[in-house]
A = this chain, B = another copy of it.
Amino acid sequence: MGRDDDPDAGGATNTDGSTDTDAHTDGPRLTHLLGRGTARDWRTVDAAEVDPVRVAVIGLGWFTRGRALPALADSDYCEPAVMVSGSPGKAERVAAEHDAVAVTYDEFLDGAARESYDAVYVVTPNALHLEYCRAAAGFGKAVLCEKPVERDSERAAALVDACADADVPLMIGYRMQTEPAVRRARELLRAGYVGEPQAVRGEMTQRLLDRIDPDPDQWRLDAGLAGGGALFDLGVYPLNTARFLLDADPVAAVGRTAATHDAFDEVDETASYTLQFPGEVDAHCFVSHDARHGSEIAVVGTEGRVAVRPAFFQDDDRVLHVSTGDTETTVRFDRVDQMREEFDYFADRIRGDAPIGPDGAHGLFDVRAMEAIYESEETGGWVAID
């Protein structure tokens, strides 16, 4: 992916555009890059000068209620406008909290309240993304769709096509791409701070069954609704963040999955996989729905290493670890509301002229890469990602 379809279009590179590979000896450069802290380097539009983007939120599960809606309510650029749920009662309850309009899934598809929103945020089970994104595109609305795009690449491609055909903006909800610690890590890499990347390591683990108890029917465990288990739910984080940090896409994958608990009779509980990036750079990743909470993404280069640890969970404070030359630097970031960053960035692109991204093609690639990992388990070897 190039700079045109990611959040960097607003100018995340150094102001001098330099990628000096000897930069690791340049102390002021490190200070300069990290000095950005949690700054919104992607910002192109002044929130005070544009109308807020009115968002219809489709899918009112725990993530929406606990994470997305508070962020939307706090947003500088967006406001919650319409609440869409399969349950009329839930839609009413949630809408009442946010002074929003309540509609059911079916009503939404029929075009209800379409004058009340400018954009949709689709956070249903994966396999419902296509239907609601396609409907929203048909209404001419901008679309922010949760990752992974859909439960398989065929449906994901149809979703991307539907938005393209309707000529509406489509962004996939990769909150790591607007997470300041990850953006600072990427700037260090781009500035040549750790030399040439040689390897990437990614890890994301949690105890899903503890979190969702007592909801054994949760859609993440349903192959038809989710498409995949730990790989789709967690694995997409190290996969996509590796792509974002390296500014490159993997060409092949090898991996395997496992499951031990009965709850995971349809989908994978853990996934272990390696992504082969151009330049002989491998990304080794492990994700688990049955391990203690933890996450990390690290890039090892010829001149040093950069790691964000913890990396992926919203409730952790992010810490950036940089080793280069004869120093090891630890940078602790104030926590940002990652969902608010994502919503504000999305709205900045809707209201401004800068290109939007990560776009549909970018998200579709991840689904194909994950399918290659599943296929690798069958073939026992590397599978090309096309």
- Using a CB–CB cutoff of 8 Å, the interface residues on chain A facing chain B are 194-195, 198-199, 201, 203, 205, 207, 254, 256, 258, 270, 272, 274, 276, 280, 282, 284-286, 288, 290-292, 294, 300-305, 323-324, 379-382
Question: Which 5 A-B pairs have CB atoms at the shortest separation, nearest pair first?
Answer: A381-B381, A284-B284, A258-B280, A272-B282, A199-B286
Cβ-defined partner of A254 (8 Å) among B199, B300, B381: B381
Q: Is the interface of A mostly helix, strand, loop or mixed?
A: strand
**Given A199-B286, A284-B284, A294-B305; 14 other pairs, CB 8 A cutoff:** A195-B292, A198-B205, A198-B288, A201-B201, A205-B300, A207-B302, A254-B382, A270-B280, A272-B284, A291-B301, A292-B300, A292-B323, A292-B324, A294-B323
Q: Bound complex: CA of A130 vs CA of B382, how far in Å?
A: 36
Cβ-defined partner of A292 (8 Å) among B276, B284, B305, B380: B305
Cβ-defined partner of A382 (8 Å) among B258, B323, B380: B380
Q: Within 8 Å CB of A254, what residues of B?
A: 254, 274, 381-382
Q: Bound complex: CA of A203 vs CA of B200, how far in Å?
A: 11
Can you list 27 A-B pairs with a CB-CB distance of less than 8 A? A195-B291, A198-B270, A198-B290, A198-B291, A199-B288, A199-B291, A201-B203, A201-B284, A201-B286, A254-B254, A254-B381, A254-B382, A270-B280, A272-B282, A272-B284, A274-B274, A284-B284, A284-B286, A288-B300, A290-B302, A291-B303, A292-B301, A292-B302, A292-B305, A292-B323, A294-B323, A380-B382
Q: Within 8 Å CB of A199, what residues of B?
A: 203, 270, 272, 286, 288, 291
Closest Cβ neighbor of A294 among chain B residues = B305
Q: Bound complex: CA of A198 vs CA of B256, how far in Å?
A: 13
Identical copies of this chain, number: 2
Q: Within 8 Å CB of A301, what residues of B?
A: 291-292
Contact flag A272-B274 (CB < 8 Å), given A304-B292, A382-B380:
yes
Q: Bound complex: CA of A194 vs CA of B203, how far in Å?
A: 16
Q: Bound complex: CA of A305 vs CA of B203, how far in Å?
A: 12
Contact flag A282-B294 (CB < 8 Å), given A379-B381, A381-B379:
no
A211 to chain B, nearest CB (A): 14
Closest Cβ neighbor of A382 among chain B residues = B380
Contact of A291 with B282 in the complex, beta carbons under 8 Å: no
Contact of B381 with A300 in the complex, beta carbons under 8 Å: no
Contact of A292 with B194 in the complex, beta carbons under 8 Å: yes
